[in-house]
Structure 1
Amino acid sequence: MFYWLYEQYAASGYVPILNLLKYQTFRTGLAIFTAQLVVVALGSRFIRWMKVKQGKGQPMRAEGIQRHVIEKTGTPTMGGVMILAGLFTGTLLWADLSNVYIWSVLLVTGGYGMVGFLDDYAKVTKQTTAGISSRARLGLEALIAVAAVALIILFAAKPPESPELLTSVTFPVFKQLFLDMGWFYLAFGAFVIVGAANAVNFTDGLDGLATVPVMIAAAAYGLIAYLVGNYIFANYLQLHFVPGVGELAVFCGALIGSGLGFLWYNAPPAKIYMGDTGSLALGGAVGTIAVATRHEVVLAIIGGLFVAELLSVVIQVAWFKRTGRRIFLMAPIHHHFEKLGWSESTIVVRFWIVSIMLALIGLATLKLR
């Protein structure tokens, strides 16, 4: 919204101070502050309201960690609503709303947030860990993801030097290597988005465990978006230039700010959980940014923690169906470490450290060639 003011008045010289709004870095900083302020301001009242509405709060897995059943029962869920309120406010106020990348990411974030909300609502009202059916949830996620990828392919500005880039997969290190998939890219892009959403969903199992790694991934992709959206930086780093995608840095800033605000209440011991409302929305947002910036493969590095959590569940289920035995004491893998005797705070902080290391490795690929 405020970027529109810049276009209307600053360019005409009526209000010179509005010239600051043309800088993505300035608007990113304001998006961080705005989103955090909104979430913190909503927090206490929203949590009290959720406690009244939900009663027993988020249901716990009967076969899960017994300490969780004792200590965490009664903690409300759907805290993702707070995150989305800050994220959308920060983005809508400070981003360029004529940018197709902004709307594609907002489509996935809002759509996945609604799917997660329906899942959380079913769990709370029925007091069961089973929400809506997995088939229905994945189907809705896939439809939303395909719509967002199609929006990018159809309406995003084509890179002048390589117009086929919008339907291509690029690879880190090998800067000139990319695979043009044509319209098959719709399926690939949707796979990345759905996979990222569910990977973050599996990671969200301990207080603050998913929140900080998502912010770290957002910070890394905010930098990537800014660099590949700037022709000079992209050319210097020998990256594929993607016109307009730099505006996603503002969205990433709002995501970081809303995450910081939520962490105020989600830090151990958590007063509220983000639930599927938050985890699906945030994971989908990160996946969409990876698709938009054409750094989908790098997501496997920057989001390596999420990948490990997802794979631990897939491996555990597949191996148990095949042999009747388990590889991990419990999946996702953070519960395996709990079963080994690690404290919750130790697991959370160490996973944060791993996320930082992976993000730095992922960013290092920008210069390696």
Structure 2
Amino acid sequence: MLYNLLYPLADVFTPLNLFRYLTFRSGGATMTALVITFLFGPAVIRGLRRIQGAGPPIRADLPAEHLARKTVTPSMGGVLIVMALTVSTVLWADLSNGYVWAVLFVTLSYATVGFLDDWLKVTKRNSKGLAGRYKLLGQGGAGLVAAIWIVWLNHDTARETALALPFLKDVVVHLGLLFYPFAMLVMMGASNAVNLTDGLDGLAIVPAMIAAMCFALIAYLTGNTIFSGYLGIPFVLGAGELAVFCGALIGASLGFLWYNAPPAAVFMGDTGSLAIGGALGAIAVVTKHELVLAIIGGLFVLETVSVIVQVASFKLTGRRVFMMAPLHHHFERKGWAEPTIVIRFWIIALVLAMIGLSTLKLR
């Protein structure tokens, strides 16, 4: 909004020319989201405590120490992340850019699904929340609409439904109509992967912030014809504006970490985890880096695979591969201290992010 209002006045007041630069507006979005979380965080947490009373229902099969620490901590803190992210993006992004609205649509749609799930858990005092089929229906519907929207916005008809392969220069796989369900699954998969990872204080928010930093750079390079041509990555006209969105997500995540750091004063809940994952998936689809997301967000993939392996093994053989799934609970059962698990998983996320970024040059 500030760009649309103030940049046209740059001829009158030269300093307003700053608003043309994505780097300036991305930094502004980061700081604005961070300030919003600091200003409204305490009030939001107090409100959630009043609503939730004794805290959100938690799985009864978790370790006893985990249950003792977590049952009094309010959930649904994702409303703070989504609020800061949305306000900051609207303030600093170019609102004539369709990709910004498409990604915001996915973010808010998934946040709504997560909010309904969290609300049912709190009001019904039941850890199951919204039925799985309804969650998937909501995520799938919003993801499919967003996929159609993103393809419609793409001006390069030769690549609009193509899948770019990492480590290979100018190599794409044309999916045709299969691109729509593929893009939908990327958003749904990313959303649920972040959701599964969100189980310990600070565990999900830092890897999400790292992924947002990576995609801020990817969006900037993808939207720049010179840099994308030099690196041999797909050029997507207008995708650079998503660097502003990523900046807002970084600021909102950093601010939320202030309250979510061990011992957490609030959990993001499905409201935050589904929204963040959906947003990262949508950005990956716009920038044609869907497979790179699986590398940068590799920690989320590992957590998801651990659940799939656990369920499949138990159904087929009656045995469990892990002491408990997702993976972070396995190490919790083994006696690892929560901060040890969280920090080591952060290190893994950082290493995978660097590997993912290397695909920009190693082609």
TM-score, structure 1 normalization: 0.97
Q: Which residue of 2 aligns with 1:87?
A: 85
1:8 correspondence with 2:8: yes
Distance 1:150 1:98 in 2: 18
Task: Answer yes or no: is the 8 Å Cα contact 1:6–1:22 preserved in 2.
Answer: no
The offset of 1:45, in angstroms, is 1.1
Distance 2:327 2:216 in 1: 28
1:202 correspondence with 2:191: no
Q: Which residue of 1 aligns with 2:66?
A: 68
Where do residues 282-297 of structure 1 align in structure 2 (5 Å cutoff)?
282-297=276-291
Deviations, residues 208-257 of structure 1 (Å, cap 9, x unaligned): 00000000000001100100110111111111111100000000000000
Q: Which residue of 1 aligns with 2:111?
A: 113
Q: Which runs of 5+ in 2 are unaligned?
A: none
Deviations, residues 90-142 of structure 1 (Å, cap 9, x unaligned): 10000011111101110010000000000000111111110111011001100
Which of 18, 21, 24 is equivalent to 2:22? 24
DSSP 3-state at the match of 1:179: strand
Q: Which amino acid aligns with 1:169?
A: L
TM-score, structure 2 normalization: 0.99
Q: Which residue of 1 aligns with 2:353?
A: 359
Q: Which residue of 1 aligns with 2:261?
A: 267
Distance 1:176 1:208 in 2: 38
Distance 1:326 1:260 in 2: 36
Distance 2:97 2:64 in 1: 48
The offset of 1:343, in angstroms, is 0.5
Where do residues 1-369 of structure 1 align in structure 2 (5 Å cutoff)?
1-10=1-10, 13-156=11-154, 158-159=155-156, 163-369=157-363
Task: Answer yes or no: is the 8 Å Cα contact 1:60–1:68 preserved in 2.
Answer: no
Task: Answer yes or no: is the 8 Å Cα contact 1:5–1:18 preserved in 2.
Answer: no
With 1-10 and 83-92 compared, the bigger mean Cα shift is at: 1-10
For these two proteins, the number of residue pairs brought into alignment is 363
The offset of 1:155, in angstroms, is 2.4
The offset of 1:6, in angstroms, is 3.4
Q: Which amino acid aligns with 2:4?
A: W
Q: Which amino acid aligns with 1:337?
A: F
Moved over 2 A (4+): none
DSSP 3-state at the match of 1:165: coil
DSSP 3-state at the match of 1:169: strand
Q: Which runs of 5+ in 1 are unaligned?
A: none
DSSP 3-state at the match of 1:269: coil
Distance 2:286 2:36 in 1: 27
The offset of 1:7, in angstroms, is 4.1
